Structure 1
Amino acid sequence: MKKLSYTKQIAIAVMGYLSSFVACAEENERPNIVLILADDLGYNDVGFTGETEIQTPNIDQLASDGIIFKNGYVTHPYCGPSRAGLLTGRYQARFGMENNVSYAPDDKYMGLPVTETTFPKRLQVAGYETAVFGKWHLGGAPHFQPNNRGFDYFYGFLDGGHNYMPGEATVGGGGYLLPLMRNKGVAEFDEYLTTALSNDAARYIQQTSDKPFFMYMSYNAPHAPLQAPQSYIDKYSHIENKQRRIYAAMVDAMDDGIGTLINALKEAGKFDNTLIFFLSDNGGVYPEEWLPTFSWADNTPFRRGKVALLEGGVHVPFIAHWPNKIKRGQTFEGLVSSLDIAATSVALAGARNGDLDGVDLVPYVTGQKRGSPHHALFWRLEEAANIYAVRTMDAKYMRQPLPNVGRSYFDMLADPYETENLVDQYPEKQAYLAELWNEWNSKNVNSVLYQSWEYKKAVSDFYETLHQKNVREAKQTPTYKIE
C-alpha cells in the first residue's frame, strides 16, 4: 500500500476538521422550536388582541417583539381534532379523526391513527431532541402515547383535560383525576398544574444539550374546570362574574408560566435562536344550548366561539417570535393555519416533509415572499351531514345548524366579523367556494372514531349487554348438581 505524504495527511486531517466544524455550525444554526398551545382561550383574552381586563405581559411582549398573524386559524373548532391537525400538519379529515377521543387505554383504535407521522417524529429523526408538556388528548393506549409518537420526553396527562389542584389526584378517578405522568410512569404533582408544567419545562430547557430541541408546551389552561390559586383570583376581584374572575386568573397564571419558559431560554443562552409559536387550539367557550353556563371567555370581535365554524370558533390569537430571523413589531394579514407550524418546523429542521397540508412560513415572515400563504382554508365537522366552511381572503361560505347561522356567505373584506349573511346573493362566487371545498373534500376520508360522549355510551351499553348475556348463559345454576 502506498504511503501518503506528510502534506497530504495534514490536508486530509484539516479537511476532516473543517467538515466537522461546518456540520456543527449547521447544527447550531438550526433553531430550537417551542410551540405553546393554550386551551379554549378567547380571542380577546390576551393583550395583543386588545384585551385590557386580563394581564398577559409575557405573551404580549412576544407579540410586540415578533409577528402577529391577524388571520390565524386552526383546523377544527374544538380540542382533539384541532391537535391532530396541528401535530401531523395535515387536515384531520385526511385520516378520519374529527372527534374528541376518549381516554381509553385498552382500546387500540381510540387515538391518532398510527399510520400518521407527527411532525415532532420527523424532527426527532432529523436529530432534534423532542419534549411535550401537558395535555395530550390523542389516545391513551401505549402505542398512542407521546413517547411512541415522536417525543423523547413527556410530562403531563393523556386525557382531554385535568384538574389543576394536586390534592385532587387519585388512581381511582377518571382521566381528569389521574396522577400526572413522566414518560410512561407516574410523576410528582405537587403544585398548581399550570405552574408544574411550566417549571418542569424550564428544567428541561436548562438541561438540554447543544442539539436543537422541539418543545410542545400544551397547557390545559384556561380549559375547564375553572380552578386557580387564590392569589391569582384576588388580582381580579374587580370582575363581577365569578367564572370569568377565575378564568382570568388561569390565563394570568399561564402567562406567568410562559415568562418562566422565556427566562429559562435566556439563562441557557438559547432565546435568540428559538422560534416560538403561540396560539389557542380553538376559540373560547360560548354558552351554547347544551352548555348554557359556559360564559367566561371573550371572543370579541367575532361571533360565537368553541364548536362554531364562525370566526369565534376557529380564528385564534396566533403569533411567532424569533429574534434571529423575525423583525419585531410586524403584523401579517395573509391566511395562516396551525398546519403551517409543522411545515415550517420540518423545513427548518431539514426533515422529511411528507404529504403536509401546511406552508413554510419563514419566507413570509422574513419578507422574501408576499401575499397569503394559503389561497383557501377548509373545515368539515362530523356531527351531522353537510357541516362545512371554506374561506379565502375575500369571502367565506359555510353551513352549520346553529341559531342564526345555517348556510351563510360573508364578504370577509367588508365584513370580517360576519354580521351580514349574503347567502345566494353572489351565486358565482359562492359556487366557486363550493367547488374549492368539494375538491379539497375529495381527498378526505370518513370519520372513523366515535365522539367522546358517544363512545362512552357505546362502551357502557356493551358492558350492560355482556352482563345480561352472562346472566342468561350462566354455567353454574341452582339446578346444577354433582354426583
Structure 2
Amino acid sequence: MKRIFISMLMFLGFQFCCLANERPNVIVILADDLGYADVGYTGAQDIFTPNIDQLAHNGVEITNGYVTHPFCGPSRAGLMTGRYQARFGMEINISNSYFDLYNGLPLTETTFATRLQRAGYQTGVIGKWHLGGSHIYHPNNRGFDYFYGFLAGGHTYFPDEINYTRPLLNKKGQPAYVANEGDYLPLMRNNRDAEFNEYLTTALSKDAASFIKRARQANSPFMLYLAYNAPHQPLQAPKATIDKYKHIENKERRIYAAMIDEMDQGIGRVIAALKETKQFNNTLIFFLSDNGGAASYPGHNKHAKSAFSNSGQFRDGKGSMREGGSHVPFIAHWPNKLKPQKYNGLVSALDIAATAVAVGNGDLSGKTMDGVNLIPYLTNQQSGSPHQALFWRTKENRWAVRTQNAKYLLEDKGQAELYNMIDDPYETHNIIDKDRKLRQALASLWNQWNKDNINNRYLSPTQYQKRRIAFFKQIYDESELKAQKSKPLIIN
C-alpha cells in the first residue's frame, strides 16, 4: 500500500512538472499606426477598448515599450527577426511587387516563426505582411505554415472595392505604381486568392479564432502573428460602429475610433476562442503597435494632412524620432506565468522574438539577436532594465538613442535634441547646450551600435517602378532599333 501511495505521488509530481513546463502558445497582436493614447488603458476617454484594457490590467503594462523604426515595414522587420533592421540595411517601406526578387526581408535573416516552426510549433500569420511581395519572401517561405491576409503595406476594408486587375490601373488606364498598389487586390490564403466577404478586421479576427480552434486539435503548441491593418488608412469602418462615436466631432477621428473599436472586438473574439479551447492561461500574448499614430495631436505630425490619432503627451507620431513615433502601447499577458503589474524597464519589439523562441525552447543559434528574453525581467528573476540603450536610424540620416535616463536625437535637419527622460519624458525642454558630457556619452553609444550596420539598400516602391519602366523602355528601344536596321526577308 505504501509503495502504491509513493508511486501515485511520483506520478502526480511528474504530471505537475510536465504541466508547469508545458510550452506556451504565443500570439503577437500588432496594430497598425495606433496612437499611444488611442486605447483606454493608456488614457483614451473617447474610444472604447475593453478587451485590450483587460489584457493590460491582468497582464504586464510595459510603460517604456518601443518599436525599432517609426514606419511600418522596417518596424516589422525588426519584430520578425529580433534584430535591428539596420543590421541588414532595411530602412524604408519596400516595393510590394510580385516580380521584385530583391525587395523583401533578406533571406539571410531568420524569422522567429522559422525558429518556432523548427521547434515543433504550428505557425500562422493573419493580416498584413509588408516584408516582400514576391514568392521567395512569401510568409509560407519564411516560417509560417499558414497565411491569410495580404502582402502589401495596406488594404481596403470592404470587399466591394476589390480589383482583380493586375497590375492595378489608374483612371487613365495606366499601371498605378504607388506605395500601396496591393491595397485593392484579393486577400490570399497561403499562395492562392482567398474569400473576403465582410469588413476586413472582422474577417481577420474570425480567421484567427478558427486557427486557434484548429491548432487545439494538434498535439503541439502554436504561434500566431495577428497583424491587423487597423487603424491604418484608408479610414473605413461599418456605419453602425461609426454611429457609436457621435460624441466625437472630428469626422476622421470618429471613423478612426470605430476602426479601433472593431479591432478590439476582434481581439475579444480571439480571447473567447482561447478560453473556449482551454488555452487562455497558457498562451503568451503580446499586444503593440508597429509605430505611432499616422496623424497625431497635440504634437501634429508633419507627415499628416489632418489630426485624427492621439499621441497623448508625447510629441509627434508616425515617422518621427521623437517619442510619438516609436513609443507604443505594449502589453505582455500570460496568466500561468506573469502577474499583473506595470513595468518601466526599456523594452523593444526586438524582445518579442527572443522571448517567444526562449519560452518555446527554440534554437537561438545563428546571427545574434538584439532582443532579449523578457520573462526573467517580468518575473523579478532578473533586476535592472532589459536594455542599457535603444537605437533608431532612418535612411534620411535621422537618428535617436535612448537610455533609461536620457535621449539624444536628430529629427529636424541640423537640430539635434537632448532630453532628460526622468524629469522630461515628453521632450519639452531641449538641454543640448547644457550637458555636453551626456551628449557625448549617448553619441558614443550610438556610434558603437552603428559601426557595423548597413546603409539602406532598398528601393522605395516609386523608385523601383520608375527604374523598372526605364529598364524595359531601354530594352524595347534597342529591340526596335535593331528591327529597323534589319534587312527584309527575301524568298525565292
What's the TM-score once normalised by structure 1's chain length? 0.91
Kept after mapping to 2: 8 A contact 1:40/1:285: yes
1:193 maps to amino acid: L
Correspondences of 1:37-52 after superposition (within 5 Å)? 37-52=30-45
What is the CA distance between 1:141 and its match in structure 2? 1.2
What is the CA distance between 1:467 and its match in structure 2? 4.2
The one-character-per-residue Cα deviations of 1:416-437 (angstroms, maximum 9, x if unpaired) are 0001111132111110111111
| 1:65 equivalent in alignment to 2:58 | yes
- Distance, in Å, in 2 between the alignment partners of 1:421 and 1:177 is 44
**Secondary structure of 1:35 counterpart:** strand
1:134 maps to amino acid: G
Correspondences of 1:218-297 after superposition (within 5 Å)? 218-286=227-295, 291-297=303-309
- Distance, in Å, in 1 between the alignment partners of 2:94 and 2:34 is 20
- Distance, in Å, in 2 between the alignment partners of 1:289 and 1:442 is 30
| 1:350 equivalent in alignment to 2:361 | yes
Correspondences of 1:145-164 after superposition (within 5 Å)? 145-164=138-157
Segment of structure 1 superposing worse, 444-453 or 46-55: 444-453
Kept after mapping to 2: 8 A contact 1:89/1:339: yes
2:266 maps to amino acid: G
**Secondary structure of 1:63 counterpart:** helix
Give the 3 Å change call, closer, same or farther, for CA 151–289 of structure 1 in structure 2. closer
2:223 maps to amino acid: F
Give the 3 Å change call, closer, same or farther, for CA 181–28 of structure 1 in structure 2. farther
**Secondary structure of 1:131 counterpart:** strand
Aligned partner of 2:310 in structure 1 is: 298
Q: Which runs of 5+ in 1 are unaligned?
A: 1-13
Aligned partner of 1:340 in structure 2 is: 351
**Secondary structure of 1:68 counterpart:** strand
What is the CA distance between 1:471 and its match in structure 2? 4.0
Q: Where has structure 1 moved over 2 Å in runs of 4 or more?
A: 21-28, 286-292, 451-477, 479-483
Correspondences of 1:132-147 after superposition (within 5 Å)? 132-147=125-140
Aligned partner of 1:186 in structure 2 is: 193
The one-character-per-residue Cα deviations of 1:97-124 (angstroms, maximum 9, x if unpaired) are 1111111111211100000000110001
Indicate which of 39, 50, 56 corresponds to 2:49. 56
- Distance, in Å, in 2 between the alignment partners of 1:91 and 1:186 is 32
**Secondary structure of 2:346 counterpart:** strand
| 1:374 equivalent in alignment to 2:383 | no
Give the 3 Å change call, closer, same or farther, for CA 420–473 of structure 1 in structure 2. farther
**Secondary structure of 1:419 counterpart:** coil
The one-character-per-residue Cα deviations of 1:384-404 (angstroms, maximum 9, x if unpaired) are 2x32110001111111226xx
Matched residue count = 460
The one-character-per-residue Cα deviations of 1:285-344 (angstroms, maximum 9, x if unpaired) are 13778744242111111111001010000100001111101112x101110000000111
What is the CA distance between 1:88 and its match in structure 2? 0.3
- Distance, in Å, in 1 between the alignment partners of 2:484 and 2:362 is 59
- Distance, in Å, in 1 between the alignment partners of 2:82 and 2:303 is 31
Indicate which of 206, 227, 236 corresponds to 1:199. 206
- Distance, in Å, in 1 between the alignment partners of 2:302 and 2:461 is 15
Aligned partner of 1:393 in structure 2 is: 404
Kept after mapping to 1: 8 A contact 2:61/2:332: yes
- Distance, in Å, in 1 between the alignment partners of 2:99 and 2:148 is 21
Segment of structure 1 superposing worse, 443-452 or 72-81: 443-452
Give the 3 Å change call, closer, same or farther, for CA 23–215 of structure 1 in structure 2. farther
What is the CA distance between 1:444 and its match in structure 2? 1.1
What is the CA distance between 1:442 and its match in structure 2? 1.3
Give the 3 Å change call, closer, same or farther, for CA 206–471 of structure 1 in structure 2. same
What is the CA distance between 1:373 and its match in structure 2? 0.6
- Distance, in Å, in 1 between the alignment partners of 2:301 and 2:281 is 46
Kept after mapping to 2: 8 A contact 1:28/1:211: no
Aligned partner of 1:8 in structure 2 is: none
- Distance, in Å, in 2 between the alignment partners of 1:131 and 1:23 is 29
Give the 3 Å change call, closer, same or farther, for CA 230–476 of structure 1 in structure 2. farther
What is the CA distance between 1:480 and its match in structure 2? 4.1
1:408 maps to amino acid: E
Indicate which of 162, 166, 181 corresponds to 1:169. 162
Indicate which of 99, 108, 120 corresponds to 2:101. 108
1:411 maps to amino acid: N
2:342 maps to amino acid: T
**Secondary structure of 2:344 counterpart:** strand
Kept after mapping to 1: 8 A contact 2:295/2:301: no
What is the CA distance between 1:169 and its match in structure 2? 1.3
Aligned partner of 2:77 in structure 1 is: 84
| 1:436 equivalent in alignment to 2:445 | yes
Kept after mapping to 2: 8 A contact 1:285/1:294: no
The one-character-per-residue Cα deviations of 1:20-74 (angstroms, maximum 9, x if unpaired) are x879937971000000000000001000101110100000000000011110000
- Distance, in Å, in 2 between the alignment partners of 1:415 and 1:469 is 62
Kept after mapping to 2: 8 A contact 1:28/1:212: no
**Secondary structure of 1:94 counterpart:** helix
Q: Which runs of 5+ in 2 are unaligned?
A: 1-6, 169-180
Aligned partner of 1:97 in structure 2 is: 90
- Distance, in Å, in 2 between the alignment partners of 1:81 and 1:203 is 29
**Secondary structure of 2:37 counterpart:** coil
Kept after mapping to 2: 8 A contact 1:28/1:210: no
- Distance, in Å, in 1 between the alignment partners of 2:104 and 2:488 is 45
2:431 maps to amino acid: L
Q: Percent identity?
A: 56
- Distance, in Å, in 2 between the alignment partners of 1:420 and 1:464 is 53
Kept after mapping to 1: 8 A contact 2:33/2:318: yes
Aligned partner of 1:427 in structure 2 is: 436
